[in-house]
Amino acid sequence: MKLAFASAFITYFALLFMIGAYIKRKNKVASLDLVLGGRSLNFWVTSLSAHASDMSAWLFLAFPASFYMGGLPQIWFALSLVVGMYINWIYIAPRLRVQTEALSASTLSTFFERKFKDDSGYLRLVTGLMALLFLTYYLAAGMIAIGALFESIFELNYIIGLLVSVGVVVGYTFIGGFVSVAWVDLFQALFLLVAIVLVPALSYNLVGGFEAIQLAAKKAQVSLNVFDIASWKDIVLPFFGWLLGYFGMPHIITKFMAIKNPNEFKKCMYVGISWQVITLTAAVFVGLVGIAFFKNGIENSELIFVELTKHLFHPLMAGFVLCGIVAATISTMDSQILTSASFASEDVLPRFVKGFSKTTLFRFSVLAIAACAFWVALSRSATIMDTVYYAWAGLGSSFAPLVIASLYCTKVTKQGALWGVLTGGIASAVWPSVNLYLIQADIIGAIPAMIPGFGLNCFAMYLGSKLESKRESKFATQCELEKTIK
């Protein structure tokens, strides 16, 4: 059995390297190609690679587990993901693509610096460091998932699973850069789509259909009523706790900046949202079917997809289906490493390290960031979902308000932008400790970190911009007065 699983995984990893090597031969490995692919992606690659970058291992592990444990009321969380990406395609992607090209910006940090005319370089440095911090945690979540998968399937040491995942992702990212990652993500988006649909489709009739699921859910006291909630907070808080982050995910919105034709974003939206709805719906059914399939429960609910696959398929076929988890994980991990390395090599390291080309700095950054994420993943101190949300909230709280302001607001200043990023990022980072106090004191219950982080970012941005505008206005008035006196 282990040999069959291993054969499937080795074949899949070899295929990823072949795709990366082929794309590398077709594209020049220049600095812009490594970071943004020369803005050469078609709408198929742009849409599916962007969505694949969003759907990490939680799609197969934590997401079905939430429905297995909590039933259909968890659907509001899924709805927030669809709405978030829809708004991104319609209101963020077109403007960001046009404006980043106009300012010759290949990273968000460079875009912010030039958009807000920050000559000091502090805004570029701070946004780069904030992105590196939270993207490293996000990357660690993917490593934790791969490590757990290898433990479950091969009974291998957790650390070996981490090393395998790091080796594969770093390998083709190091060699090919942005274009290789985007095309590999396209392949993995299609692969994981087949895997996530196949398992619930086959197991649904096997358990006896929806009637059997209803009976098992009733016995397990799991609700199948989407409105079976204690209060409005159970809908609103998770909904906005995830939705608001979509506008500030660098590893997702960077794909918007790389499309060749900005007029094709509507096509991207249709393709991407369709793919997202299908995959999320299938993942929901994985959790619901699991209620009826495992009537006596399961030791680790986050491995429900893995256990279903083992029961349904021959080991070799099961190995290929479980590669869907690898596809979901790696399609996010490679984008995170790529985006992190872009921030490091374009926005952070050049301030401190001289005499090296951007290509050299990029490849060094890939290795260094992977090593840091590996170190975080070693502790394995939190669940996959907790680690993912910590990173998600951090990135969204830091960048989402600033992305929106940079595209739609003319009154935000460089000081306001800097204050907002710092306030939002710090608030999100410390909010888990605040939540513990709120729960223990029985004040209001846990509040997703995204909501206070996003709100405080907006307030700090407004306040900083107002103060800077007043100072500049006062300075201009003083200058006019001096000219009049002379």
What is the per-residue pLDDT across 81-103, written as a single tens digit (0 to 9) for each? 999 999 999 999 999 999 999 99
pLDDT at 481: 46
Task: State how far the Cα of 455 lies from the Cα of 244, in Å rounded to an integer.
Answer: 10
Taking only Cα atoms into account, the Rg of the chain, rounded to an integer number of angstroms, comes to 23
What pLDDT score was predicted for residue 191?
85
Q: What digits encode the pLDDT tens for the residues 317-337? A: 888 888 777 777 777 777 788
Given a contact cutoff of 8 angstroms between Cβ atoms, the answer to whether 356 and 324 are in contact is no
Pick 164 or 74 by higher pLDDT: 74
356 compared with 272, residue with greater pLDDT: 272
pLDDT digits (tens, 9 = 90+) for 429-454: 999 888 777 766 666 667 889 999 99
pLDDT of residue 474: 55
Q: How far is Cα 80 from Cα 207, in angstroms, rounded to an integer?
A: 30
If you average pLDDT over residues 403-427, what whole number do you get?
A: 94
Residue 270 pLDDT more than 90? Answer: yes
Phi-psi region of 37 (alpha: psi -120 to 50; beta: other; left: phi over 0): left
Chain-centre distance of CA 376, in angstroms? Answer: 17
pLDDT score of 480 more than 80: no
Q: Provide the pLDDT for residue 176.
A: 59
What is the model's pLDDT at position 29? 45
Among 252-266, 276-290, 466-480, which range has the highest average pLDDT? 276-290
What pLDDT is stored for residue 94 in this prediction? Answer: 94
Query: What's residue 130's pLDDT?
Result: 92
- The pLDDT value recorded for residue 322 is 80
Cα 308 from Cα 293, distance rounded (Å): 8
Q: 177 or 251: whose pLDDT is higher? A: 251
Mean of pLDDT values over 463-482: 69
Task: Name the burial class of residue 281, with classes exposed (0-12), middle (13-18) and buried (19+) by CB atoms within 10 angstroms of its CB.
Answer: middle
CA separation for the pair 225, 217 (Å, rounded): 11
Q: What is the percentage of the chain residues whose pLDDT exceeds 70?
A: 88
Query: CA 184, CA 255: separation in Å to the nearest integer?
Result: 13
Task: Report the alpha-carbon distance of residue 184 to residue 20 in Å, rounded.
Answer: 7
Question: Where residue 168 falls among pLDDT bands split at 50, 70, 90?
Answer: confident
Tokens at 265, concatenated: 């974003």
How confident is the model at residue 32, as a pLDDT?
Answer: 45
pLDDT in tens, 180-227: 777 777 888 888 888 899 999 999 888 888 888 899 888 888 888 888
- Return the amino acid letter for 173: T
pLDDT at 275: 93
**Domains by residue range for the chain, with CATH:** 2-409 (1.20.1730.10)
Q: What is the average per-residue pLDDT within 132-151?
A: 83
pLDDT at residue 95, rounded to an integer: 94
Do the beta carbons of residue 315 and residue 4 sit within 8 Å? yes
**Contact (CB, 8 A) for 160 and 407:** no
Q: Is the pLDDT confidence value at 477 over 60?
A: no
The rounded distance, in Å, linking the Cα atoms of 426 and 222 is: 37
Percent of the chain with pLDDT over 90: 30
Exposure on the CB side of residue 304, measured as CA atoms within 13 A: 33
- What is the pLDDT of the chain when averaged over all its residues? 83
The whole-number pLDDT of residue 182 equals: 78
Q: Is the per-residue pLDDT at 464 higher than 80?
A: yes
Which position has the higher pLDDT, 4 or 434?
Answer: 434
**Environment class of 10 (CB within 10 Å of its CB; exposed 0-12, middle 13-18, buried 19+):** exposed
For residues 48-67, average pLDDT = 84
Q: Which residue has the tokens 């799609």?
A: 59
* Cα(472)–Cα(483) distance, integer angstroms: 17
| pLDDT tens profile 6-34 | 777 778 777 777 777 776 666 554 444 55
**pTM to 2 decimals?**
0.84
